[in-house]
């Protein structure tokens, strides 16, 4: 040890300095850890507040998003000017393109399974569509296009007798 002290006269100073720095570090580390933990809690609290704010914004915006999706679903593209317009227009407000009316029968099948099967069987024969496909469509509800008014009224009364919910729908296409 004496050889080290004689050869390296600065060694005791470095040793003492290193020891002091280590002691200070050991004293400061718990305070640093507490500070980090406090900041972590603050950060988590801020994130939770942001989540609550985001949820309230989503709840408030949800009806607007639904309305926008519904408006987009009910819109159509003008074949002349290619602009997106409301589906209720008979004429394009931008280029005056005349749309034609198309008449549909909106059909929703009966609620109980037995009546639904009977209605699907009759409708599958009448429309020449697969039984399982027409049964699925009846459950979901669908539009069926018929131009002839007398045939449309006849189909509607027949479907009502089968237990289906039926209404006439006019769309501009």
Domain ranges of the chain: 2-71, 101-172
pLDDT digits (tens, 9 = 90+) for 149-161: 889 899 899 999 9
Average pLDDT, stretch 3-10?
A: 75
Would you give the end-to-end CA distance of the chain in angstroms? 101
Determine how β-strand 101-108 pairs with β-strand 165-172: antiparallel
Place of tokens 């005791």: 12
CA distance 156 to 109: 12
CA distance 164 to 166: 6
pLDDT digits (tens, 9 = 90+) for 23-51: 998 999 999 999 999 999 999 999 999 99
pLDDT digits (tens, 9 = 90+) for 102-112: 899 999 999 88
Share the mean pLDDT of the chain.
89
> 101-172 maps to which CATH number?
3.30.1390
């Amino acid at each position: 040890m004496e050889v080290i002290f004689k050869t390296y006269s600065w060694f005791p100073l470095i040793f003492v300095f290193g020891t002091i720095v280590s002691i200070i570090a050991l004293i400061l580390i718990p305070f640093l850890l507490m500070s980090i933990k406090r900041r972590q809690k603050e950060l988590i609290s801020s994130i939770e507040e942001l989540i609550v704010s985001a949820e309230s914004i989503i709840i408030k915006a949800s009806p607007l998003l639904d309305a926008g999706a519904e408006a987009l679903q009910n819109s159509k593209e003008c074949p002349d000017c290619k602009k997106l317009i409301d589906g209720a227009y008979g004429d394009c407000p931008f280029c005056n393109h005349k749309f034609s009316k198309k008449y549909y029968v909106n059909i929703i099948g009966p609620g109980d399974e037995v009546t639904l099967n009977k209605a699907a069987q009759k409708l599958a024969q009448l429309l020449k569509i697969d039984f399982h496909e027409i049964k699925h469509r009846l459950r979901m509800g669908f539009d069926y296009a018929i131009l002839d008014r007398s045939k449309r009224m006849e189909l509607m009364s027949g479907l009502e007798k089968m237990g289906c919910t039926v209404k006439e729908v006019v769309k501009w296409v």
